Chains A and B, each alone.
Chain A
Amino acid sequence: MKPAQAFGRSWLGAGFVFLYLPIVALVLYSFNDSPIPNVWRGFTLKWYVALASDQEMLSGFWISLKIAFFTACGSVVLGTMAAFTLVKYRRFRGRTLFAGMINAPLVMPEVVVGLSLLLMLVTVQRAFGYPEKGQLTIWFGHMLIGIAYATVVIQARLQDMNPQLEEAAMDLGAKPSQVFWLVTLPLIGQSLASAWLLTFTLSLDDVVLSAFLNGPGATTMPLVIFSRARLGLNPSVNAVATLIVFVVAIGVVVASYLIARSERRRQQEMAAAFRS
């Protein structure tokens, strides 16, 4: 092995250690019997048992799951429309403003987005007496970030897509709606799935927007975790973390396997179609 190659490999190795070390430590210490953090005293599952009766965490988990589900669905629908608009409709009034508004939430500090949404919420509430701060308002906040991310993912796929496929369908007499449902949608389906998963995880993970927009009965799981983590190290957080890590790892591996398989199948079909 050449020295340059060895250097490259060790750099990659060290980088991956850096990226994964905290996760390994989290998982390992979730099985620590000692109530004092960082002091190993033996293997236990008691933090997991305690978690099963941890009402605050459990209800937070269901609330987060619900908000994340609706955020992901809403973001993919509006994100598909927005990506379509940006890729297909090159010219309409206010396009620059539209593109700017789509991209801004990606880089805007979350505290600013959260504060401005909170101020609007208060203003609307004073005028109409509705809506109360709660799960709905958190959903509004998550949707804003979700649409931005979903649009980026779907837009990239739409740009790579061969427009001749849609043109061919139109030449063969398909109506625009038929072209969309029968040709475009199956072609971008994979990116819709990744956008859904991405916005789902983003929503499930969000602390800042939820902290600005939450109300009674809307304490999401990250808010519970954050308030405990602020006070110090807490083994219950490690247990939750371990569960999340395993679910996510399995989910991502399965999802990417399925996506890769459908992609392969699609390419085989395309190849077969062009051969015959």
Chain B
Amino acid sequence: MKNWLDRYWNGRSAVIGAPYLWLLVFFLLPFLILIKYSVSEMDAVRPKDLLHFKDGLLQLTIKLSNYVFITQDDLYFKTYLASLKYAAATTFFCLLIGYPFAYFMARARSTVQPALLMLVMLPFWTSFLLRVYAWKGLLSTNGWVADLIIGSGLDQVLAALGVITAPGKLMNTPFSLVLGMTYTYLPFMILPLYGNLSKMDLRLLEAAQDLGATPWTAFWTVTVPLSKAGIIAGSMLVFIPCVGEYVIPELLGGPETLMTGRVMWDELFSNNDWPLASTLAVVMILLIIVPLALFNKYQAESQERRK
């Protein structure tokens, strides 16, 4: 007994064990319970056990009807599609704004770079909820941005594109939703890109120029391919949380911008349909598992390179 204790109960296993146990109890176990709920039959308020022992028979009951239901019901299918669409649009705009931003930041004088970095981080430290709420003010009637867009006639263009329902009404539309998500997640795009671009060896660009490339060609054939890891990391950091976003669609979205996070929320809190909410959550995970794996792969690779 003493020997066993000596072998296993030392500082090392305590250091590994404490966070390990915590994660098993508060991450893995809840996740398994979630999966169990999604395939359980409800017994008034609680789910029935999956395993029954009756008349000498051990029975395993797995109820798949929730999964069948959400693939056949048009509403849920559309919701998932919309979530993916808005997340993709947000990622696109974050990249469009964020890449040049990170690029110019990385090429700024090295003395001002820490200050610029600090300025990008600072909004991230102030409440995300309040910054989303602020857009509500900016985009509703008489708000600064609303006045600017309507005054310049841009709302006609947006309405023609179908991202707002009618000229003059900007709030609670796909436009306000994607704008809010782009705003919120922009630092998540800028920071990994900046980390990547600021470490780039500038002599490679000089070499490209010596070999006759214009700055524009050098940018597309040298800088962009070299920053691939940053682009993927940033895009995943934006795309994945956007798919399951709840707060922004609730505050800035409208009736036609149903996203899966919101639908799941309603199933749980308004309809009290826990198994269906669990099924929606499991399917949400399945949707993001590919980008998640991609992110982990690149994350692991960049960590290997650091060593």
The interface of chain A, by Cβ under 8 A from chain B, is 4, 8-9, 11-12, 15-16, 18-23, 25-26, 29, 37-39, 78-79, 81-82, 84-85, 89, 92, 94, 98, 100-105, 107-113, 115-117, 119-120, 123, 126, 140, 143-144, 147, 151, 159, 176-177, 201, 204-205, 207-208, 222, 225-226, 229-230, 233, 237-238, 240-241, 244-245, 248-249, 252, 256
Contacts and interface: CB of A to CB of B under 8 A. Distances in A.
A111 B250 CA distance: 13
A102 B303 CA distance: 15
14 contacts: A22-B131, A23-B131, A113-B30, A115-B278, A116-B30, A119-B34, A126-B46, A140-B26, A147-B19, A151-B19, A225-B129, A241-B134, A245-B130, A249-B122
A111 B261 CA distance: 6
Interface of B: 11-12, 15-16, 18-20, 22-24, 26-31, 33-34, 37, 46, 97, 100-101, 103-105, 107-108, 116, 118-123, 125-131, 133-138, 140-145, 183, 186-187, 215, 236-237, 240-241, 243-247, 250-251, 261, 264-265, 268, 274, 277-278, 281, 284-285, 288, 292, 295-296, 299, 303, 306-307
Contact of B130 (A105, A140, A176, A225): A225
B177 to A, nearest CB: 15
A25 B284 CA distance: 35
B129 A222 contact: yes
A120 B30 contact: yes
Contacts of A21: 138, 144-145
B204 to A, nearest CB: 18
Query: Nearest 5 pairs between A and B by C-beta?
Result: A109-B244, A22-B134, A116-B30, A8-B104, A38-B142
Contacts of B133: 26, 225, 229, 237, 241
Given A20-B123, A144-B26, A159-B306, A38 B16 contact: no
Contact of B137 (A15, A25, A159, A256): A25
Contact of A252 (B122, B137, B251): B122
Contacts of A143: 22, 26
A260 to B, nearest CB: 9
Contacts of B243: 109
- Per DSSP, chain A at the interface is helix
Contacts of A16: 119
A178 B104 CA distance: 46
B259 to A, nearest CB: 10
A123 to B, nearest CB: 6
A39 B142 contact: yes
A109 B284 contact: yes
A25 B144 contact: yes
A3 to B, nearest CB: 11
Nearest to A78: B19
B62 to A, nearest CB: 17
Given A89-B16, A143-B26, A249-B122, A111 B265 contact: yes
Contacts of A208: 246-247
A147 B22 contact: yes
Given A78-B22, A101-B27, A85 B264 contact: no
Nearest to B97: A15
Contacts of B303: 159
Contacts of A23: 123, 126, 131, 134
Residue of B11, B34, B127, B288 with most chain A CB atoms under a 10 A cut-off:
B127
A38 B143 contact: yes
Contacts of B97: 15, 18
B274 A107 contact: no
